[in-house]
């Protein structure tokens, strides 16, 4: 193949006049840059470039038509010339090829018509605020590609190449248009087709999110002569992805990479020798059949590639594997070891009342949570159906799938597009970039209609469900099911060219136990028909809607679920491949009570005449007596062995009997350690498994840990006595304990938050790790000394605030400087995998690993300490972190920012004619201390949602938040228990005055500065004396979606000095954490980590509530701009949703992310003297359960996120604050939009 066209054109330094030529000299739009137009206005230049590539050894010459669709030419107002441009381009290329053929006919040479990706995306919304929006349709793309293909073919193209595919749906539209043209237009018979995808970064995905294998799966229905990759990456970066497509594709494979990644100046650095060396490696590895070059490559590059490939052996095309492959963002391959594929049934308006309600209420975004639930419950394919009389099914299908595409956790899954209306199915296929399943088609309307629909589905690249239904009706007997499926199979494979694996038969799962005799054989008929279909129709799959089976027992959910499980057990054995089933509601076959199972199977296999009556009788009797059985089971566990009792206590978190049971076990076992290693660890292992699988929740884990600690505490004196005796007998003085490993943990210097760290410590401790917790605000030198002294094998660093991130970088740097190699775990609310990869890992050659939550800590630590696992894990992690670093760098490069001056021009502007009238002079001016605020007055305004988040209790919509979480089917019971225990402790705290709440507020006259982003504060005595300045940061990231939206800074909400309007600003600092350390220490002394964590969590909630309560008092009394009647009508929920006037932004948060502004606040309010709240060196508040912020009263004020800022603003901000730029960059490191 040839190389780059665009960079070669640039070497000619063509002017606007060159692009216009005589024909377009008066055209209304600028044309410079429309390289495709040069095929008409400068064909000699294009031909000369073609000839250079042909002379270099090119066999396949690409036309200069990358942007020659009518869609792309719209940018130049030349969309009407798309056909002409393409025909001219192909003709120029053909002329060059013919000249070289005449010189040497022995060398094969071809013209390849290039169809670029267009400048629009069918899968991605250009509007951030509207993820369901699309600026181009499938049909528009289809027609544009078809028009381009006609022009290329008429101009002499021998091959068509749909290339640089960043959005697979765009490509599928092109494929559909080309295939439609081949099939319906006699002038354009089929010709060779190439397809070339583009991987945008080292994560190995297209811009629209697909992996390489998913991309190939989505387009393979086009049967291209060749498929491959081009553009975006250099050859070396392409290697793993090229290997993947080479392994998957049952056709020829090509590659034409860039000359490396673009450098800082937009150029390319890889030489022809470097590129050809990588291409030779691809050839020798058996990856490719064809090679060329993309951006930055030259005729010299192609000559070098041609030279190295002269003796290379072409890739051997692998045989097509007989598996059904489907795709969303990722591929699902139905290999034999997959056994059964769950088709999630809940995104179906007829299968889920909740989903139907949300769709009818136009709550599409919330309806996505139903799809996410299905994924989390194990659905491997999502069934999507909008067949409802009162819905616009076409619009609903399109909108939901478009929204779904913006949710990566859901969009990984393939879709089953399900409707009884075929035009609704087509609407869904037009917005689905992956390979979907169509549900369904059948012979019901006759053979011709069946073939018509099947052909359409094939051109969209979909697999099809074929119902056992023909002109005579629905099949119920084994013979009719097999007959219809066989007939359909032969039509699809022999007449329409279907691959057998893309055919899925549904032989009709029908309802049993209806009381109608002919229905009694329905289950066994399905199972036996499935067996025959799999034996006689090779490659075909079998599916079914499982819930149909048990409709006779609606209301008896336990029985229905057991029926489904038993039916699937036997149907899967017979060959059932997939089924529409609620994966989260299936009991294990072995767990079905034996008496129930026997009755169910009597019905399924029609073994007894009275089977239905017996099963109904069983269901009714057991529904009544269920609670009695449950109570009996609760008492029964105390009769089990001591090992089983200990395990039960751990799993259930029951500590009433643990001491007695542990003592019984101690008397039974030869050594106390054997009890820990045996029944106790077995129980905790089960707890870990359940927690990891999402079947157990954090409060339960902590309660299990409390049981474990009590058991271990009882055994510890006995173990110590035996150890001391053994060491004395051996004359050994080393008293090191036997642990799985030693983990040192600390909240870094300047940070006082440790709830998350404590939870990790509990989980690790209960997995037999020795955990040494250094506490909070731990200096780097203390961490290092303790790590050496304690012979730590892992160091865990925790932090909540942004400055803690810098402290972690410092700790890692110091560990490296001292030559230490201990792995470091990074955790805490502000930490992230990206920050760890970009900022921390490069400073430390040994492992530095981000751990997202407690459930991952044990897995990571155990892998690090296992010699066999550590190496592979670190190799994977190093590769991942390098990818994250490159992605981060790319994100900074690609994002656009306004200059600070421009952002200030586009600032939010108060309307002083009305704003001046709204300003209320505060009743309080100056400082006021608030001491011993009654805690009982704070209970009503507690926001409980963050409390449940602390405990990792997450419900699913619509039961996600408090108090709806109590009704969540999965976590509701645990949430209620946790909340009840929190209420009990809260009552104890209030009744016994275990915590105290102190705070301070201040209100001052204030004006924003003209031409700057600062707010000056003045003396409350009316003298106009300036007493301080608060410094603001302004948004700079370009707002593409809404160009009229202002670029905010907090100073925008305060009247300026020149406005003539007198304005004010307030500030506050509060804490409800006085007494927390003493209370927590008491619980920890009792080895009650659960209560210690609970106390800290409640102190945090009280502090936030204090801030909310005090803000209300300021609005209503101390400032008085909120009317008492308005305040009285506002509920707690309204308060938490900020439905009042004004805001209270906090330093370190999105609207003012600079923690150093706290210093000025502390000075102006004399916070430490007035309230006792201190600032640490890293500007954390102590006690930790504390909140501070500003009060802005403007009705126009709103919360916003500053986001990334440019170097010009950092320099300006440093000058305004009188602070070195380096210090500002350190405090704002996560916001910098430059390296």
Active site (catalytic) residues: 751, 753, 804
Angle between helices 43-55 and 299-308 (to 10 degrees): 30
d(CA 818, CA 836): 20
d(CA 481, CA 531): 11
Residue 823: DSSP 8-state: -
d(CA 113, CA 983): 72
Residue 26: DSSP 8-state: T
Question: Whose structure tokens read 């009818």?
Answer: 360
Cβ-contact 572, 339 below 8 angstroms: yes
Residues listed for the chain: 1235
d(CA 1049, CA 1199): 10
d(CA 64, CA 87): 11
**Closest-CA residue to 1143 (of 1181, 1107, 1194):** 1194
d(CA 415, CA 834): 31
d(CA 246, CA 724): 64
d(CA 81, CA 87): 10
d(CA 1214, CA 1230): 16
d(CA 932, CA 888): 47
Cα dihedral across residues 691, 694, 696, 699: positive or negative? positive
Across 367-458, where does the E strand assignment appear? 381-385, 415-418, 437-441
User: Cβ-count burial of 628 within 10 angstroms (0-12 exposed, 13-18 middle, 19+ buried)?
Assistant: exposed
Cβ-contact 179, 210 below 8 angstroms: no
Cβ-contact 534, 542 below 8 angstroms: yes
Question: Both tokens of residue 841?
Answer: 């890992």
Distance of CA 589 to the CA centre of its chain: 33
**Closest-CA residue to 312 (of 292, 285, 294):** 285
Cβ-contact 1076, 995 below 8 angstroms: yes
Cβ-contact 769, 741 below 8 angstroms: yes
Beta partners for residue 113, in sequence order? 160
CA atoms within 13 A on the CB side of 880: 14
Provide the 3-class DSSP secondary structure of residue 1005: strand
d(CA 569, CA 236): 48
Q: What are phi and psi of 634, to 5 degrees?
A: -60, -35
d(CA 67, CA 63): 11
The helix/strand count (H/E) of the chain reads as: 47, 32
Separation of first and last alpha carbons in the chain: 38
d(CA 534, CA 480): 15
- In which element (H, E) is residue 451 found? helix 447-459
**Closest-CA residue to 430 (of 421, 414, 446, 417):** 417
d(CA 577, CA 588): 18
**Residues near 618 by Cβ (< 8 Å), separated by ≥ 6?**
559, 595, 596, 599
Question: Both tokens of residue 1014?
Answer: 């600062």
């Amino acid at each position: 193949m040839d190389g780059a066209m665009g960079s070669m054109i640039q070497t000619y330094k063509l002017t606007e006049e060159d692009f216009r030529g005589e024909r377009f000299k008066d055209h209304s739009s600028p044309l410079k840059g429309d390289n495709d137009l040069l095929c008409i206005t400068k064909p000699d230049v294009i031909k000369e470039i073609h000839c250079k590539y042909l002379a270099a050894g090119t066999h396949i010459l690409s036309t200069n038509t990358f942007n020659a669709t009518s869609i792309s030419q719209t940018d130049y107002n030349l969309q009407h010339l798309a056909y002409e441009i393409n025909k001219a381009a192909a003709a120029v290329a053909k002329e060059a090829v013919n000249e070289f053929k005449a010189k040497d006919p022995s060398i094969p040479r071809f013209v390849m018509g290039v169809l670029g990706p267009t400048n629009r995306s069918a899968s991605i919304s250009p509007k951030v605020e509207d993820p369901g929006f699309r600026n181009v349709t499938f049909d528009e793309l289809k027609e544009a590609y078809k028009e381009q293909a006609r022009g290329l073919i008429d101009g002499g193209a021998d091959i068509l190449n749909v290339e640089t595919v960043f959005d697979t749906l765009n490509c599928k539209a092109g494929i559909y248009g080309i295939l439609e043209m081949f099939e319906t237009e006699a002038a354009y018979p089929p010709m060779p087709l190439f397809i070339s995808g583009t991987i945008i970064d080292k994560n190995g995905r297209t811009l629209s999110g697909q992996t390489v294998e998913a991309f190939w799966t989505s387009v393979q229905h086009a049967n291209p002569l060749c498929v491959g990759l081009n553009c975006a990456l250099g050859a070396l970066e392409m290697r793993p992805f090229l290997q993947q497509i080479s392994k998957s594709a049952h056709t020829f494979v090509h590659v034409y990479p860039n000359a490396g990644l673009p450098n800082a100046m937009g150029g390319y650095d890889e030489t022809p020798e470097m590129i050809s060396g990588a291409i030779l490696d691809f050839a020798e590895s058996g990856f490719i059949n064809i090679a060329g070059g993309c951006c930055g490559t030259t005729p010299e590059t192609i000559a070098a590639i041609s030279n190295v490939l002269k003796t290379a052996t072409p890739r051997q095309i692998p045989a097509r594997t007989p598996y059904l492959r489907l795709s969303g963002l990722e591929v699902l391959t139905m290999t034999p070891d997959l056994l059964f594929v769950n088709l999630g049934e809940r995104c179906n308006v007829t299968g889920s009342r909740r989903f139907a309600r949300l769709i009818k209420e136009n709550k599409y975004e919330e309806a996505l949570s139903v799809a996410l639930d299905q994924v989390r419950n194990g659905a491997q394919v999502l069934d999507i159906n909008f067949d409802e009389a009162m819905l616009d099914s076409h619009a609903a299908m399109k909108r939901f799938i478009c929204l779904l595409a913006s949710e990566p956790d859901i969009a990984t899954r393939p879709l089953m597009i399900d409707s009884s209306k075929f035009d609704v199915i087509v609407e869904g296929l037009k917005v689905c970039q992956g390979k979907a399943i169509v549900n369904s088609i059948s012979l019901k309307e006759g053979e011709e209609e069946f073939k018509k629909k099947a052909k359409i589905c094939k051109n969209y690249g979909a697999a099809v469900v074929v119902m056992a239904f023909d002109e005579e009706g629905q099949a119920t007997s084994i013979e009719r099911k097999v007959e219809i499926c066989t007939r359909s199979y032969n039509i699809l494979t022999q007449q329409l060219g279907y691959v057998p694996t893309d055919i899925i038969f549904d032989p009709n799962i029908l309802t049993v136990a209806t009381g109608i005799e002919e229905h009694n054989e329905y289950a066994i008929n399905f199972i036996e028909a499935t067996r025959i279909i799999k034996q006689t129709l090779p490659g075909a799959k079998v599916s079914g809607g499982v819930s149909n089976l048990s409709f006779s027992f609606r209301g008896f959910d336990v029985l229905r679920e057991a029926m489904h499980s038993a039916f699937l057990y036997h149907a899967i054995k017979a060959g059932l491949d997939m089924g529409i089933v609620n994966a989260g509601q299936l009991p294990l076959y072995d767990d079905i009570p034996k008496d129930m199972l026997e009755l169910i199977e009597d019905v399924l296999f029609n073994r007894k005449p009275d089977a239905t009556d017996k099963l109904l009788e069983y269901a009714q009797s057991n529904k009544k007596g269920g609670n009695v059985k449950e109570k009996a089971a609760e008492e029964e566990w105390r009769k089990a062995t001591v090992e089983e009792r200990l395990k039960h206590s751990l799993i259930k978190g029951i500590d009433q009997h643990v001491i007695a049971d542990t003592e019984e076990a101690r008397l039974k076992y030869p050594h106390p350690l054997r009890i820990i290693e045996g029944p106790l660890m077995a129980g905790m292992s089960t707890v870990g498994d359940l927690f990891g699988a999402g079947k157990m929740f954090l409060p339960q884990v902590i309660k299990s840990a409390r049981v474990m600690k009590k058991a271990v505490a009882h055994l510890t004196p006995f173990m110590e006595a035996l150890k001391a005796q053994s060491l004395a007998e051996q004359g050994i003085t080393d008293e090191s304990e036997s642990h799985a490993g030693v983990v040192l943990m600390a909240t870094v210097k300047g940070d006082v938050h440790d709830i998350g760290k404590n939870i990790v410590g509990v989980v690790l401790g209960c997995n037999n790790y020795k955990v040494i917790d250094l506490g909070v605000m731990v200096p780097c030198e203390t961490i290092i000394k303790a790590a050496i002294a304690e012979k730590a094998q892992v160091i865990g660093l925790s932090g909540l605030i942004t400055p803690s991130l810098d402290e972690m970088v410092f700790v890692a740097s110091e560990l490296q400087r001292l030559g230490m190699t201990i792995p470091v775990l990074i955790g805490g609310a502000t930490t992230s995998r990206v920050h760890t990869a970009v900022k921390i890992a490069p400073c430390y050659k040994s492992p530095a690993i981000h751990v997202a939550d407690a459930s991952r800590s044990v897995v990571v630590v155990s892998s690090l300490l296992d010699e066999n696992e550590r190496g592979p894990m670190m190799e994977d992690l190093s590769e991942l972190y390098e990818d994250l670093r490159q992605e981060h760098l790319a994100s900074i490069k690609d994002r656009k920012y306004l200059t600070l001056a421009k952002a200030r021009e586009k600032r939010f502007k108060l309307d002083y004619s009305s704003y001046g009238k709204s300003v209320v002079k505060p009743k309080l001016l100056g400082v006021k201390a608030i001491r011993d605020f009654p805690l009982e007055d704070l209970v009503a305004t507690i926001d409980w949602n963050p409390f449940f988040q602390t405990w990792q209790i997450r419900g699913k919509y619509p039961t996600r938040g408090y108090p709806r979480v109590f009704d969540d089917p999965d976590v509701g019971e645990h949430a209620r228990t946790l909340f009840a225990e929190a209420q009990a402790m809260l009552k104890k705290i209030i009744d016994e005055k275990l915590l105290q709440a102190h705070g301070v507020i201040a209100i001052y006259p204030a004006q924003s500065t003209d031409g700057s982003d600062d707010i000056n504060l003045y003396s409350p005595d009316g003298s106009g004396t300036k007493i301080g300045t608060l410094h603001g940061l302004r948004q700079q990231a370009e707002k593409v979606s809404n160009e009229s939206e202002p670029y905010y800074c907090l100073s925008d909400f305060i009247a300026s000095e020149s406005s003539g309007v007198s304005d004010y600003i307030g500030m506050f600092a509060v804490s409800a954490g006085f007494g927390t350390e003493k209370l927590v220490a008491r619980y920890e002394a009792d080895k009650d980590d659960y209560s210690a964590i609970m106390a800290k969590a409640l102190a945090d909630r009280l502090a936030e509530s204090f801030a909310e309560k005090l803000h209300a008092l300021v609005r209503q009394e101390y400032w008085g701009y909120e009317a008492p009647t308005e305040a009285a009508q506002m509920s707690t929920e309204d308060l938490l949703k900020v439905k009042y006037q004004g805001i209270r932004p906090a330093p370190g948060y999105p609207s003012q992310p600079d923690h150093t502004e706290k210093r000025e606040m502390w000075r102006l309010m004399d916070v430490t003297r007035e309230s006792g709240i201190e600032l640490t060196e890293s500007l954390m508040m102590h006690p930790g359960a504390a909140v501070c912020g500003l009060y802005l009263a403007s009705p126009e004020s709103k919360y916003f996120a500053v986001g990334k800022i440019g170097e010009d603003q950092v320099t300006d901000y440093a000058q305004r604050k009188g602070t070195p730029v380096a210090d500002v960059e350190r405090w704002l490191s996560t916001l910098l939009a430059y390296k």
